[in-house]
Amino acid sequence: MKKNVKNPQAKNKWTKKDTIIMSILGAFIIGAGALTGIFIGNNVFDQGEVNYSDFDETKWEDNRAKFVERFNSTSTNDYTNIFKPNELVGIAYQKFSNYEKTFQATTGTVIAVGFEQSVASSGMKVGSNYFAESFSTGFINVGKRYYFDGDNSTSVYTGSNPQTNSASWSEDAKEVLDNEQMEKTWGKLVSRPSIYLLCSKTCLNTSTAKKNSDGTYTVEIDLDTTYSVSRYVRQMCSMSGLSKNPRFHSIHLNYTLSSELDLIQVNTKENYDVFKGFWINTSGDLTEKFVINGDNVIPAINENVSYN
């Protein structure tokens, strides 16, 4: 049974600590599956106040499996001559999802109202089972863990005494959500490696791609600040009771892909405002690294994940 989420707009007095919690929530969330940017440019959409509850991301998403089919049948010494930036990244994410075992780890910082928080997260896949965890430490300390059984159930744990990338976990601090509840509350399933809607309709024309001298690729993605964050915004509003949608100013993703378009690393920078009686600006700078077919094993509840 899903637990009721406490409404922060109750009669309790709003404190500076509450303000900081709301401001850093976004980066804490993204860290659970890939994160944040600071590119200043013109958006292709009028952000306004979008009703994300009625927005169906599946109607916007690219057919990444088709991208991979084209990739597999392509012979070239430079994939940027064949594929657009969003297609290159789409191929990389589709290939990542197709592997039997994957691991991704994120570290970085988030700054809100003059306070700096450290953010760390990891996610892994082993067969049909998935795991993720997120930590935000500094002025406040928060830790979450997610175990997805590959079917229709995710166990969500809230850690006690959270540190930089560890916490104490207990079955007493656990709730079980079905897929619909996970999508509504956390914006995405643990099996989805990124919370952004990154597709041909949300990638700005300032996005670029180039092949490097070592054979790797650098793909710089600038996302529109309205629809690319649909899952992200639903998550923030659901978990913190925001009365207005967050206002994103910039989202910039700097990907490094292998010569065969596998994910190696992404640096994410984002800047956005959240509203709690007044608008609060927040910026994040995070780096996520990816490992394919490694020796990762989904940890037991009393085991820590290595970020080395």
DSSP 237-286: HHHH--SS--EEEEEEEEEEE-TT--EEEEEEEEEEEEESSSEEEEEEEE
Cβ partners under 8 Å of residue 9, min gap 6: 241, 243
Question: What was the pLDDT predicted at 2?
Answer: 42
Q: Name the range with the highest mean pLDDT among 22-26, 122-126, 164-168.
A: 122-126
Q: What is the pLDDT of residues 81-104, one digit of tens each?
A: 999 999 999 999 999 999 999 999
Q: Could you say which DSSP state residue 194 is in?
A: -
Helix axes 64-72, 85-98, angle to 10 degrees: 90
Q: What is the pLDDT of residues 56-81, one digit of tens each?
A: 999 999 999 999 999 999 999 999 99
